[in-house]
Amino acid sequence: MIIPTYDHKTVEVDLPAGTSQSNLLALPALVDPHVHFRVPGGEHKEDWQTGARAAIAGGVTTVFEMPNTNPPTTTADLLHAKKKAIEQQLKTIGIPLHYYLYIGATNDNLTEIEKVKDEIIGIKLFMGSSTGNLLVDKKADQEKIFALAAKLNLPVAVHAESEALIERNKALHADNDSIKVHSLIRNAEVAATAVAQAIELAEQNGTRLYILHTSTAGEVDLIRAAKARGVQVFAEVTPHHLFLDSESYHVLGSRAQMNPPVRRPEDQTALWQGIANGTIDTVGTDHAPHLLSEKALPYPKSPSGVPGIETALPLLLNAYHKGKITLENLVAVISANAKKIFNLPANDDWVIVDLDLTKEVKNENLKTKCVWSPFAGWNLKGWPVVTMLNGKTFYLSS
């Protein structure tokens, strides 16, 4: 069947009998620049077999995998061991997923970064603590990493939260064990302070800077101003920050716990405006699966992070139907911008979506090993029905 593309061309694909043909559209397959597939050390939550199946189900054919595994990916040897494990797992299931790996920055692994400069998509820098034990919180150490990245022409992807302010706020709220305190400990000041410092370091060193999971209006303002000055700064937003807010704790409890945390509705509005005016460049899912039994632990023992690779596209298509995002901007943030920012090779991967298909998000239908979603129970209009990867066609259950 001939399917129209988003830019008024066509793609030919064989569709299984019974597939609705009322409102099909071909979009470039998604590039997800922010996933945690938990190999090595967290395979009970996810691995590259379940992660790849979840990616295909969400129309994703390219992923960038983060280094905060166990052990963290901080040396050439560990990077090569991870790549070997990935290749074995993907071969087993016959999904030739495009993947790229970050190396994690530490206070003393600059030499290791240089060894693998041609094998990585970038350097991941945790300015504030999160899942795992990667942390570089001193400005002098951060500056060395930014300088090296500029020398090697590598982007620095930053988890921008100020560790000093996190620790200050923990002390201020030491007697509060409510899940809602998570958004007070890691408040907007924590994020904006770190983003301002990262932008300063990028500007001084001529480094390409990629701000992960932008979540507040203040960050959007800082990034917009930096772009206007010519700083090479790019911004990512997650689906959970676009679609969940601080009220979500009432329904989800610790299932809404993430770093950075859910924000005010006003911040959410600023993120959507940032997509519309080009301040926000990409949507990265920050797919970070944990088992429900782990998420149910009392705060702060409950881990931060939510799965999201399978639901990102339906959420955005549903937002398109509601007039919150144009189709042009949708394609930009799910695919086109990431390809430009990270200079990815061209491919002919597509996701065929049924714009009229309305379905409920159900945990039992998910491919991720953790088998839950913070969006379970949501009815969304617009779903992927076919994913085309490297000439292989994957038909998705409807």
**Residue range(s) defining the domain that contains residue 165:** 29-346
Buried b (16+ CB within 10 A) or exposed e, 19-37: beeeebbbbbbbbbbbbbb
Neighbours of 188 (CB within 10 A): 18
Residue 48 located in a structural domain = yes
Tens of pLDDT along 22-47?
A: 799 999 999 999 999 999 999 999 99
Using CA atoms, how far apart are residues 389 and 37, in angstroms rounded to an integer?
Answer: 19
Determine the average pLDDT of the residues in 186-204: 98
User: pTM for this one?
Assistant: 0.97
Residue 353 located in a structural domain = no
Q: Is 270 within 8 Å of 223 (Cβ atoms)?
A: no
Determine the average pLDDT of the residues in 190-218: 98
Bridge partners of residue 99, in order along the sequence: 63
**Residues with a known catalytic role:** 286
What CATH number corresponds to the domain at position 216?
A: 3.20.20.140
Give residue 132's pLDDT.
77
Task: Categorize the per-residue pLDDT at 398 as very low, low, confident or very high, splitting at 50, 70 and 90.
Answer: low
Residue 352 located in a structural domain = no
Give residue 297's pLDDT.
98
Over 80: is that where the pLDDT of 274 sits? yes
Cα-to-chain-centroid distance, residue 140: 28
Percent of the chain surpassing pLDDT 70 = 99
Over 70: is that where the pLDDT of 116 sits? yes
Tens of pLDDT along 320-336?
A: 999 999 999 999 999 99
Residue 18 located in a structural domain = no
The angle subtended at Cα 381 by Cα 379 and Cα 387, nearest 5°, is 110
Determine the average pLDDT of the residues in 243-272: 98
Over 80: is that where the pLDDT of 269 sits? yes
Residue 374 located in a structural domain = no
Give residue 15's pLDDT.
84
Q: What is the mean pLDDT of the chain?
A: 97
Give residue 344's pLDDT.
98
Using CA atoms, how far apart are residues 244 and 118, in angstroms rounded to an integer?
Answer: 37
Residue 4 located in a structural domain = no
Determine the average pLDDT of the residues in 81-110: 98
Give residue 223's pLDDT.
98
Least confident segment among 9-23, 141-155, 291-305: 9-23
Residue 317 located in a structural domain = yes
Using CA atoms, how far apart are residues 244 and 213, in angstroms rounded to an integer?
Answer: 13
Q: Provide the domain count of the chain.
A: 1
Give residue 397's pLDDT.
77
Residue 201 located in a structural domain = yes
- The burial class, CB within 10 Å (0-12 / 13-18 / 19+), for 357 is buried
Over 80: is that where the pLDDT of 143 sits? yes
Tens of pLDDT along 345-389?
A: 999 999 999 999 999 999 999 999 999 999 999 999 999 999 999
